[in-house]
Amino acid sequence: MLQEIEIKDLEAGDEILLSCQTSFRYVRILRTPQLGKKLHWKTQAPLYKSVKCSSRVIETTQTHQWSNGHKRTRICTKWVLTDKDHNKEFYQDLTERQILLIKKNNN
């Protein structure tokens, strides 16, 4: 069952769903979120640091050739919604984002 959760309630090992531009990301939290040194510009409340996460990503290469013979190659990234075989680690800023809890780490 999906439920909305706040950053302060996340722990290492939790699995969440984030909306990012036009897609969703299934993310596993690798480190517990920590408060940073920066303050919110309006409320002066402390902000959280970016959180280390992992996810499953498939990268494909696309090449386009124009009529004048020039070629352009770009890498397209697709985020896979799965909890298995995570192959990418990254830092994600979760400040002021809607976070849906998929699975809570129960150690």
- pLDDT tier, 63 (very low <50, low <70, confident <90, very high otherwise): very high
- Helix then strand then coil, in percent of the chain rounded to 5, is 5, 55, 40
User: What domain count does the chain have?
Assistant: 1
Give yes or no for residue 82 having a pLDDT over 80.
yes
- What value does the mean pLDDT take over residues 94-100? 90
- What value does the mean pLDDT take over residues 6-26? 91
User: Quick check: is 10 in a domain?
Assistant: yes
User: Quick check: is 81 in a domain?
Assistant: no
- pLDDT tier, 75 (very low <50, low <70, confident <90, very high otherwise): very high
User: Quick check: is 83 in a domain?
Assistant: no
User: Quick check: is 26 in a domain?
Assistant: yes
User: Quick check: is 40 in a domain?
Assistant: yes
**pLDDT number for residue 1:** 66
Domain range for residue 32? 3-55+88-103
Under 8 Å CB-to-CB from 27, ≥6 apart: which residues? Answer: 15, 16, 17, 18, 53, 54, 55, 92
pTM of the predicted model as reported, rounded to 2 decimal places: 0.82
User: Quick check: is 50 in a domain?
Assistant: yes
User: Quick check: is 61 in a domain?
Assistant: no
